[in-house]
Structure 1
Amino acid sequence: MGFKIAIAGATGNVGREMLNILAERNFPADEVIALASSRSIGTEVSFGDKTLTVKNLETHDFSDTDICLMSAGASVSQKFSPKIAAAGCVVIDNSSAWRYDSEVPLIVPEVNPDAIEGFRKKNIIANPNCSTAQLVVALKPLHDRAKIKRVVVSTYQSVSGAGKDAMDELFNQTRAVFVADPIESKKFPKRIAFNVIPHIDTFMEDGYTKEEWKVLAETKKMLDPKIKVTCTAVRVPVFIGHAESVNIEFENEITADEARDILREAPGCLVVDKHEPGGYVTPYESAGDDATFISRIREDATVENGLNMWVVSDNLRKGAALNTIQIAELLVNRGLLKSQAAA
């Protein structure tokens, strides 16, 4: 018998992608329920060759639901996830609401699958920030080989990370440039069309943004608390796909060729690294793909045991929806979850 799965936030970018990936990967679901807020009741969303009608998250009975894939934002998750979990349904949350809770495992299956055993404490599992997910997929195999001391990362993040309204704003501003209409900025503090904005999320007292802090905190929680991490997060006029320039300092010696070989064999990684024009992957090419692409691997002569690399991934997939589904698959494949209907 398969499982009953609920998607909370099914009308959003990530929620719709979750439905697509569930169908693509033939997840063992007997029933899939699309949920959203009351204003979206009756909206239709696609699931494989089926059409689902969105129901109300607030009134749904989770007592016979096995997994809730939550993509409705942090405030909604904080309100509803404990109630859903108390009903016996495992919540896999895509927001920042539970990532830093010591009793909630933060999981990237290629990086720290064993940590999933801790989900029983609250019946909640957290999905990491989109930029962190692709970063740790690339860092993990290198850390296992040469032990990472320090990471300096600059992110180049697409507007889809800020939701549908952000994608619409980029489209509308771009069109306005070409027809000489006024440029309106609502979602972003500055114009995003033909521009870059070194500001994602709120500013903190130390001058870093919350987005930059997330990369630091989540890398430490999933990979190694001893790793030093610093980040600059930048929004770029790209619709889908996050890119990262990553500088790594290791305790032990590792060459670019060794790193290339290690990453070629690593789960979730795809190395495209030819030293020629176009011999690398860009965000545009990553859209719709499950892999974390790694290019421009080279040694950094300014520090001992240093490497540079370029990491690209579809932020709606590995950075959000795909990783969430992979966590659900990990629960099932390890026998950690039994169907409530079967019970």
Structure 2
Amino acid sequence: MSGFAVPSKTAVIVEDDPDVRDLLDEVFCAAGFRTVLATTGFEGVAAVQEHDPVITTLDVNLPGIDGFEAVRRIRKTSDTYIIMLSALAEESDIVLGLSSGADDYVTKPFRPRELRARIEAFMRRPRRLERDAFADSGPITPIRLVPDPENSDAEDSAAHEVPGAPEVAVAARNPGADAAIVAIGDGNAEWISHRDLSLDLATHTVLVAQREVELTPTEFDLLATLLESKRRVRSKSDLALVLRGEAFGSSYYVGEPDKRAIEAHIANLRRKLGDSSSEPNYIETVRGVGYRLTPQSDAIAAFG
């Protein structure tokens, strides 16, 4: 029996060029991953379903189905972090890749050190790993948020009605706060609410008017960041740093491609939430600055 430990992190590499595939294999193995290699889009989708990887890399030009279609199929069953790798460097190609469900888009030729940095950035984003700790806790129980009778500051304006669901008291808000954090049931859930939008950090669940919305890991992290920031504006650079696992205000350089990627992710997020950039219900654009939550109600918007 070997005395070497088997890496617990798995990466699926979908690449038909053997030289690039070998290079990717080396990068991931050096980062402590167990790798699964695939050469076609169909094989890649099947490998993700079978091995449940933390990270998946996908070439765009693949035999069978291309990388864009492979991402769409993977997203139906998996929340693996997806990095698209392609020689297609036009902005329209990048937007298409991110709109298909990818978390990152890297153009070829790429520097192994840059790719390694992006892999490490994904691993610094803890929410997926934290969520996995609750994977065996059973199905999510619908809830109905009601005012806390012992807390005069609690509101019922953001209550989410589910007939027959247990009632959970809304947590106290600080004056002027526009998102409430609610501790639920056994303490494994932590809901953040804004209007009829609710997000649970523990289970990666997002509800809009009690309808569950499927988000990619990156879209979820961006939405969680905006909800936690309340009405504080977050710049594109701020949000790019979040996706790298860095703190706000870090001195790390954020280039224009990363900022354009944030724009694409926010556009996808709005589309899935049923939101509008011109008449936002949840996320508003502060031109020349960044993004923030809308006021809690239209009345606040009218008179605030």
TM-score, L = length of structure 1: 0.29
TM-score w.r.t. structure 2 length? Answer: 0.33
